[in-house]
Amino acid sequence: MNRILKFIAVLLAAVVLLGVIAAALLPRFIDPNQYRDEITQLVYDQSGLKVSINGPIDWSIFPWVGLSLEDVSIEGANSSQLAQLGSAGVSVKLIPLLSKRIEMQTLELTGLELTLVKNAKGKGNWQVSAPKPSEQQTSRGQEPSSTSTPESATASSPLKLDIASVNVSGLLISYDDQVSKQKYIIDQASLTTGAIRNQQPFDFKLKAHITIPDLVINSLISGEVTFNLEAGRYDIQNLKVSATPDVNKGESLSIVGNVQYQQTPMLVKGNLGVAEFNLANLLNQIKIQLPPMADPKALNKLSFDSHFSTDGESLTADKLQLQLDSFTLDGNFRMSSIDRGDMQFSFTGNDLNLDNYLPPATDNAEAPDEEQSTQSGSEKPSSGKEHPLIPEEMLRGLDLDGSMKLASLTVAKFIFEQPSVDIKAAQGKQEVKIGSRFYQGTIDMTSNLDVRQSGNPKMAASAVLKNISLEALSKPIPDLASLQGDVNAGMKVHTHGQYASVLTKNLNGNIEFKIDKGVFTDANFDKMVCEGVAKIRKKELRATDWGSSTEFTDLSGTFVIKNGIASNDNLIAALAYMNLKGDGYVNLVDRQLDYHMGLNIRGEEAPDSDPACQINKEYVNVTWPVRCHGDLGDLKCGIDVKRLTETIAEIAENRLKKKIEDKVQGPVKDLLKGFFK
- Percent of the chain whose predicted confidence (pLDDT) is above 90: 45
Q: Is residue 119 part of a domain?
A: yes
Q: Is residue 335 part of a domain?
A: yes
Distance, CA of 35 to CA of 67 (rounded, Å): 14
| CB of 595 closer than 8 Å to CB of 583 | yes
Q: What is the DSSP secondary-structure string of 61-74? A: -SSEEEEEEEEEEE
531 and 423 together in one domain: yes
Mean per-residue pLDDT of the chain: 81
Q: Amino acid identity of 582?
A: G
633 and 671 together in one domain: no
- Percent of the chain whose predicted confidence (pLDDT) is above 70: 72
207 and 261 together in one domain: no
Q: Is residue 393 part of a domain?
A: no
H-run or E-run covering 377: helix 370-377
Mean pLDDT across 170-188: 92
The secondary structure of residue 335, as a DSSP letter, is E
What local confidence, expressed as pLDDT, does residue 608 receive?
57
Q: What's the domain count of the chain?
A: 4
188 and 295 together in one domain: no
Q: Is residue 193 part of a domain?
A: yes
Q: Is residue 503 part of a domain?
A: yes
Q: Is residue 238 part of a domain?
A: yes
461 and 589 together in one domain: yes
296 and 436 together in one domain: no
Pairing of strands 400-411, 343-353: parallel
Q: Is residue 45 part of a domain?
A: yes
| CB burial of residue 412 (10 Å; 0-12, 13-18, 19+) | exposed
224 and 352 together in one domain: yes
Q: Which residues contact 609 (CB under 8 A, 6 or more apart)?
A: 530, 577, 602, 603
What local confidence, expressed as pLDDT, does residue 17 receive?
45
| CB of 286 closer than 8 Å to CB of 349 | no
247 and 295 together in one domain: yes
Q: Amino acid identity of 303?
A: S
* Final residue before a domain boundary, out of 360, 391, 426: 360
Distance, CA of 571 to CA of 566 (rounded, Å): 13
Lowest mean pLDDT among 187-201, 215-229, 287-301, 656-670: 656-670
254 and 207 together in one domain: no
| CB of 273 closer than 8 Å to CB of 304 | yes
- What's the pLDDT tens digit per position in 411-460? 989 999 999 999 999 999 999 999 999 999 999 999 999 999 998 999 99
| pTM value surpassing 0.85 | no
451 and 575 together in one domain: yes
Pairing of strands 182-193, 202-212: antiparallel
SS3 call for 292: coil
Q: Is residue 237 part of a domain?
A: yes
Polymer length of the chain:
677
263 and 115 together in one domain: no
Distance, CA of 193 to CA of 205 (rounded, Å): 6
The secondary structure of residue 336, as a DSSP letter, is S
| CB of 531 closer than 8 Å to CB of 544 | no
Parent domain of 192: 39-125+158-176+184-211
Q: Which residues contact 10 (CB under 8 A, 6 or more apart)?
A: none
- What's the pLDDT tens digit per position in 317-336? 999 999 999 999 999 999 99
pLDDT class for 667, splitting at 50, 70, 90? Answer: low
What local confidence, expressed as pLDDT, does residue 308 receive?
96
The secondary structure of residue 309, as a DSSP letter, is E
406 and 527 together in one domain: yes
- What's the pLDDT tens digit per position in 561-617? 999 999 999 888 877 667 778 889 999 999 998 888 776 766 555 545 666 566 555
H-run or E-run covering 13: helix 2-29
